[in-house]
Amino acid sequence: MTDICIVGGGASGMAAAICAKEENPGRAVLLLEKKNQLGRKIAATGNGRCNLSNQACAGVSETLDFFAGLGVLTRADETGRIYPYTEEAAAVRDALEQKMEALGVEVMTSAEVCRVEKNETFSIELGNRILQARKLLIACGGKAGAAFGSTGDGFRFAKSFGHKVNKPVPVLTAVEVKEDMRKLSGIRAKAAVRLCHRGEPIFSEQGEVQFTATGISGICVFNLSRFLLLPAGVSFADGFDEYQIEIDFFPAYDTLVPLLETRSAQGFTDERLLQCLVRKPIADMIWRSAKGDIIKTAALLKAFPLSPCGVKGWDFAQVTKGGVPLCEVDAETMESKLVKDLYFAGEVLDYDGPCGGFNLQHAWTTGMRAGKEMAK
């Protein structure tokens, strides 16, 4: 028997364990992690630099205080992204582990939970072993990044307690398109991307677009993927037909017709018209599509169309969209509104934010709230 059992040794789970012991050192806290090491996803975040939070996040000051207590010095870049001063994600994971050890949190790794249920207390089944806990936190992530242990277990546990689970979808990932992109593969371009649904823009962001053999990638594309959703009742084969992506290679210009006409008058004719405006493979593709017409060429430079057919799968996605609806959980305590003493934190909840630290901030915040409440 333990007072508090936390399933999942990621960001939200470790934050919860630390805050629970700090809130009430007398509580026995047990953290279970299915992998052989805690925080494997943390160590990979931000390309190994660990984008902890963002200055634009709600609750960022509380998070910075939390990490200061772990001895982690932080700094923000020019965009507001917050990183550990050394930009070492593994060091952040180590600081969390060391704090848990110092506080007396019991940790079991290679401990995959098969089933959970509640009678008078919670029963947590680990193969041929059953543990008991007075309070239970499900913090085992979503489905993004299966290599780090996120395989959707939390959704199964939530359903067993009567919770709804909104359909999980991989987001913050590359987008695949129907067009043949092989000639553009490897090219990067500063541009704006727009996502249109039935001809109406629903998302736009500027950034670096990376062309791949099957589509486009880059932070602005990752953020776009959050809005590219398969409608209910349709198949992947044609489910995205009502969407179109437009790439604007010159977002600072309202129109490029005068510029192109001037260049033409200066003697930049045929393919040379786009010389030094866009990379040659892009210029060649646009020139062929426009058939040498300046008006059409200008239009394609401002709205180069692509037909999305889906996103990269779970192995490539950074975040899960979908999960336990926020309306079924108390936002201040993270306790289930359906089952007393059951809590949720992190990516198992139906929350997804843009790139830049927003999703990790949600993990820290929900984990800290759950930990403090469970310890009362």
**Which residues, at least 6 apart from 153, have a Cβ–Cβ distance to it below 8 Å?**
7, 34, 113, 140
Residue 351's pLDDT is 98
| Percent of the chain residues past pLDDT 90, beyond the cut | 90
Cα(69)–Cα(10) distance, rounded to whole angstroms? 18
Residue 236 has pLDDT above 90, yes or no: no
Residue 128's pLDDT is 85
Residue 270 has pLDDT above 90, yes or no: no
**Which of 42-46, 105-109, 146-150 has the least mean pLDDT?**
146-150
* Mean pLDDT (whole number) for 252-256: 96
Among the listed residues 324, 332, 372, 342, the one whose alpha carbon sits nearest the alpha carbon of residue 166: 324
Tens digit of pLDDT for each residue in 158-180? 999 999 999 999 999 999 999 99
Instruction: Provide the 3-class DSSP secondary structure of residue 215.
Output: strand
Residue 148's pLDDT is 84
Cα(23)–Cα(4) distance, rounded to whole angstroms? 13
Question: Are 130 and 124 spatial neighbours (Cβ–Cβ below 8 Å)?
Answer: yes
Residue 235's pLDDT is 65
Q: What is the pTM of this model?
A: 0.93
Instruction: Provide the 3-class DSSP secondary structure of residue 1.
Output: coil
The mean pLDDT value of the chain amounts to 95
Question: Are 75 and 148 spatial neighbours (Cβ–Cβ below 8 Å)?
Answer: no
Residue 29 has pLDDT above 90, yes or no: yes
Residue 14's pLDDT is 98
Provide the β-strand partners of residue 342.
136
Residue 57's pLDDT is 97
Q: Which two tokens stand for residue 331?
A: 């936002």
Tens digit of pLDDT for each residue in 48-71? 899 999 999 999 999 999 999 999
What is the phi/psi pair of residue 307, to 5°?
-110, 105
Band (pLDDT 50/70/90 cuts) for residue 245 is very high
Q: Are strands 122-126 and 129-138 parallel, antiparallel or unpaired?
A: antiparallel
Cα(341)–Cα(326) distance, rounded to whole angstroms? 17
Domain range list for the chain: 2-170+317-375, 175-311
Cα(175)–Cα(85) distance, rounded to whole angstroms? 32
Residue 355's pLDDT is 96
Ordered DSSP codes for 90-107: HHHHHHHHHHHHHHT-EE
Q: Are strands 188-197 and 243-248 parallel, antiparallel or unpaired?
A: antiparallel
Band (pLDDT 50/70/90 cuts) for residue 191 is very high
**Which residues, at least 6 apart from 275, have a Cβ–Cβ distance to it below 8 Å?**
268, 283
Question: Are 365 and 62 spatial neighbours (Cβ–Cβ below 8 Å)?
Answer: yes
Cα(51)–Cα(57) distance, rounded to whole angstroms? 12
Residue 261's pLDDT is 95
Cα(372)–Cα(102) distance, rounded to whole angstroms? 18
Residue 165's pLDDT is 97
Q: Span 2-170+317-375: which CATH code? A: 3.50.50.60
Residue 237's pLDDT is 63
Tens digit of pLDDT for each residue in 91-145? 999 999 999 999 999 999 999 999 999 999 999 999 889 999 999 999 999 999 8
Residue 277's pLDDT is 95
